[in-house]
Amino acid sequence: MLTAAELTLLGRLDLAYRRSRNGLYAGERRSPRAARSPEFSDFRPYVPGDDFRQIDWRAYARLERLTLRLYVAEEEACLNVVLDASESMALGTPPKWQAARRLAAALSFLGLAAMDRVTLGTLDGRSLPPLRGRDGVGRIWQFLEGLAPVGEAGPADLARQRWLRPGMTVVISDFLTADDDGVAADWAPALAALGGRRQELVLWQVLAPDEERPQITGDLKLVDPETGRDREITITPAVVADYERALAALRDRLSRASEATGGRFLSSDSGLDLEGTMLAGLRVGVVKRG
């Protein structure tokens, strides 16, 4: 799935969580909650009800005020990777499917390497149980290699995912879906629903270069493999320009919908290697240098 060089590259990166973690178990991620741990965090004045055991008596001797000594809590974080495995992901040159699958593998690897609890699944509901530690890398890759892009997927499928744990949820898709009327599907309701489930959303759009800047011209019949619909069109440079404007508008809607839930939106094309793809993540702050 990933080469040794790519794993070395990923070894220098880490996932950048924004929200406080709420893991069930102690982990390696800093928690905003104070707790007992070897790492000092801060002082704060004592208020009735606080644990006496946390009073810093040496400070009281100097200051004659009751002060609590706080420590950093380290908890595990949860990473949910949701991969769009619909038939449209097989299109594009180079195909989006390969790029999306490798991206899912890379993000899962980053989570597993940081001892996060990683859950990987697809929009159509197939998923792995939560994994933790590098031992899970093999299962994740095996799962990804067993996937094939078939069928349809859309925002309704995202809202239906029940296996998502509170944490960072990365949705990898082309987000090119239409509703029954043939207009662009609205992802905002599904994203809002997920945001309500304490999800830090990251929408990672993967498109092929020829989907970003179409090279086709003339009288054609366009076929949507997911829905089976086809329509005739005469493509001219002006039509291509319109297409590019429509794509920009779609991205803008996705960005606003994700930001409304405190999430982020980014895109990369399937022509990039893993390093280029991770650079896109670095620019948006989804990953950081470890």
Partner 1 sequence: MQLIAPLGLLAALALPLIVLLYFLKVKRPEVRVATLVLWRRHLADRQANAPWQRLRWSALLLLQLLAAFLITAALVRPGVTGAAGVGKTTVVLIDASASMRTTDVAPDRFGAAVARARQLAGSLAPGEEMAVILMGEHSQLLAAPTSDGAVLDSALDRAAAGGGRSDLGEGISLADAILSGRSGGSIILLGDGHSRPPAVPPRVAAPLTYISIGSSDQNAALEALTRTGAGTVFLRVANFGRQARDLKIEMYGDGRLADVLPVHVDGNASTDLTWTRVPAGTQLVEARITPADVFNLDDAGWLLTGAPPPHEVLLVTDENGFLARALSLRPGVHLTTVAPKDYKPGKYDLYVFDRIVPPGTLPDPALVIDPPGGQGPVPLGPAIDPGGVLPANARDPLLNDVDLRDVHVQVAGRVTAPPGWRTVISAVAGPLVLAHEGEPRIAELTFDIHHSDLPLRAAFPILVDNLLSYLLPSGFENQAFALGKPVILAAEPGATEVDVTTPDGRLARLHPPLSPFTDTLVTGVYNVRQLVPGGVRSSRFVVEFNDPELSRVAPGAAAIPFEEERAQQAPAVRGTLELWPWLVGAVLALLVLEWFIYLNPTGLRFPRLRPR
Residues in CB range of 273: below 8 A, 6 or more apart: none
Residue closer to partner 1 (CB basis): 18 or 256: 256
238 part of the interface to partner 1, by CB under 8 A? yes
C-alpha distance from residue 280 to each of 14, 97, 126, 240, 272 (Å): 14, 18, 27, 25, 10
Which of 242, 252, 273, 275 lies at the binding interface for partner 1 (CB under 8 A)? 242
**Closest distance of CB 86 from partner 1, Å:** 9
150 part of the interface to partner 1, by CB under 8 A? no
- Name the burial class of residue 196, with classes exposed (0-12), middle (13-18) and buried (19+) by CB atoms within 10 angstroms of its CB: exposed
**Closest distance of CB 238 from partner 1, Å:** 5
- Cross-strand partners of 205: 173, 267
Q: What is the phi/psi pair of residue 102, to 5°?
A: -70, -35
Please tell me whether residue 221 adopts helix, strand or coil conformation.
Answer: strand
247 part of the interface to partner 1, by CB under 8 A? yes
Number of Cβ within 10 Å of residue 157's Cβ equals 20
216 part of the interface to partner 1, by CB under 8 A? yes
Which of 18, 229, 256, 288 lies at the binding interface for partner 1 (CB under 8 A)? 229
233 part of the interface to partner 1, by CB under 8 A? yes
User: Site mask, partner 1, residues 73-112, x = CB under 8 A?
Assistant: ---------------xx-xx---x----------------
Q: Nearest CA to 253 among 159, 182, 189?
A: 189
148 part of the interface to partner 1, by CB under 8 A? no
Number of Cβ within 10 Å of residue 146's Cβ equals 8
35 part of the interface to partner 1, by CB under 8 A? no
Which of 18, 58, 197, 231 lies at the binding interface for partner 1 (CB under 8 A)? 231
- Cross-strand partners of 170: 81, 202
Q: Interface with partner 1 by CB under 8 A: which residues?
A: 88-89, 91-92, 96, 174, 176-178, 182-184, 207, 211, 216, 219-225, 229-239, 242-243, 246-247, 250
